[in-house]
Amino acid sequence: AWTLAPLGAVVGLLLWLALLSHMRATRSLPVVMRAALADDEFFLEYQPIVDLDSGRWVSAEALIRWKRPDGTLIRPDLFIPAAEDSGLIQRITERVLELVCAEAPALFARHPQFRLSINLSAADLATGLVVHRLRELTNQPGIEPHNLAVEATERGLLAVDATRRVLADIRALGIRAAIDDFGTGYSGLSYLGTFEVDSLKIDKAFIDTVGTDAPTSDVAVHIIEMAKTLRLDVVAEGIEHPEQAEFLRGRGVRYGQGWLFAKSMPMPALLAALDSAADGSAGGPVTSVE
Ligand code: C2E
Ligand code: MG
Ligand code: MG
Ligand code: MG
């Protein structure tokens, strides 16, 4: 047995080292993010939302990106949850609003009916600060309330009591609101319908299977029918195949988003695409999906 002892010690040491480095990595992420905010390492890309009937781009969602000085791109799925846990998310949201403030006026000057949507986390909806920030944003020259929308996840909305009030205040400014990633929570549309929102975005998980025999496709249809009853606009997320778009359009879904139409892109690319569209007011380079 004594021959195994050194091996056990080595394995133990390696495990300990791995654990330590993992803890260091997770603990230091907020610290690194704080520095990254100061060093301007965050930027925005915009993913179009398409009218499924006409194929025109009617709005776009602002999606945050983090580029490290060495060129590494860190996905929001990795750092947004860490930012939420560490209380840094409100700083991130402020940066997003600053970036929109800097980039959007050129867009709205040429496409006055276009809309940009901004993702909000539970912490943003827990205090009235974001309402104040959004009001400031709409007070900027070249940004009107009808040019903006917010997206809040089901989980975010249910996190604290204040979200209902904050959401109502945001809509009172004339800014639209959507429930994001709909279907991934357990609260049900009838309950969420008591929140003041204009639309809901059906999560990609349910869109993946539409047009197939998979049972989750029934869930999508059910969500669509309930949204109609509540008179909510529906946006289908993560559409990758024409058959999905066709199916959803046939069910009366008005809007779609996904790689079939366009991936997220920097503002200059979005502007160029909108400018070159046949109908400059709200078009995109991608033609209709029929
Ligand atoms: P989300 O708000 O549901 O955004 C949709 C995500 O799906 C985006 O990922 C988008 O790039 C991706 N996507 C869109 N179409 C397709 C498709 O056809 N196929 C596939 N495979 N993916 C598609 P992204 O940009 O990595 O963002 C991930 C999540 O991070 C977002 O999910 C959102 O919850 C969060 N996030 C991103 N930006 C922000 C932000 O500024 N603030 C906050 N609080 N959260 C953000
Ligand atoms: Mg979103
Ligand atoms: Mg979404
Ligand atoms: Mg989603």
Query: Which pLDDT band, with edges at 50, 70 and 90, does 7 fall under?
Result: confident
Mutate to test the pocket of ligand 1, among 119, 163, 235 (most ligand atoms within 8 A of CB): 119
Helices and strands in the chain, H and E counts? 12, 9
Residue 95 pLDDT > 60, yes or no? yes
What amino acid is encoded at 232 in this protein? L
234, 199 contact by CB (below 8 A): yes
Q: With a 6 A CB cut-off, is 259 part of the ligand 1 pocket? A: yes
Quickly list DSSP for 52-111.
Answer: TTT--EEEEEEEEEEE-TTSPEEPHHHHHHHHHHHT-HHHHHHHHHHHHHHHHHHHHHH-
Measure the CA dihedral 88/179/135/41, to 10°. 40
Determine the 3-state secondary structure of 255 from DSSP. Answer: strand
Q: With a 6 A CB cut-off, is 121 part of the ligand 1 pocket? A: yes
Q: With a 6 A CB cut-off, is 181 part of the ligand 1 pocket? A: yes
Among the ranges given (5-9, 24-28, 273-277), the one the predictor scored with the smallest mean pLDDT:
24-28
Q: With a 6 A CB cut-off, is 264 part of the ligand 1 pocket? A: yes
Q: Residues near 4 by Cβ (< 8 Å), separated by ≥ 6? A: none
- Average pLDDT on 211-230 reads 87
Q: Which residues pair with 62 in a beta bridge?
A: 46, 118
Q: With a 6 A CB cut-off, is 80 part of the ligand 1 pocket? A: yes
283, 57 contact by CB (below 8 A): yes
* Residues 228-272: tens digit of each pLDDT: 988 999 999 999 999 999 999 999 999 999 999 999 999 999 999
What is the Cα–Cα distance from 241 to 258, expressed in whole angstroms?
A: 9
DSSP character for 244?
A: H
Name residue, tokens 């366009």. Answer: 262
Q: Residues near 119 by Cβ (< 8 Å), separated by ≥ 6? A: 61, 62, 63, 64, 96, 150, 151, 152, 180
**Residue from 159, 243, 241, 229 nearest 200 by CA:** 229
What is the Cα–Cα distance from 28 to 290, expressed in whole angstroms?
A: 49
Mutate to test the pocket of ligand 1, among 41, 50, 61, 63 (most ligand atoms within 8 A of CB): 63
**What's the pLDDT score for residue 8?**
72
What amino acid is encoded at 211 in this protein? G
Q: With a 6 A CB cut-off, is 213 part of the ligand 1 pocket? A: no
Ligand 1, atom 8, residue with closest C-alpha: 63
Q: Which residue has the higher pLDDT, 21 or 108?
A: 108
* Residues 27-77: tens digit of each pLDDT: 678 888 999 999 999 999 999 999 999 999 999 999 999 999 999 899 999
Two tokens at 130?
């974001």
Helices 89-110 & 129-139, crossing angle to 10 degrees? 20
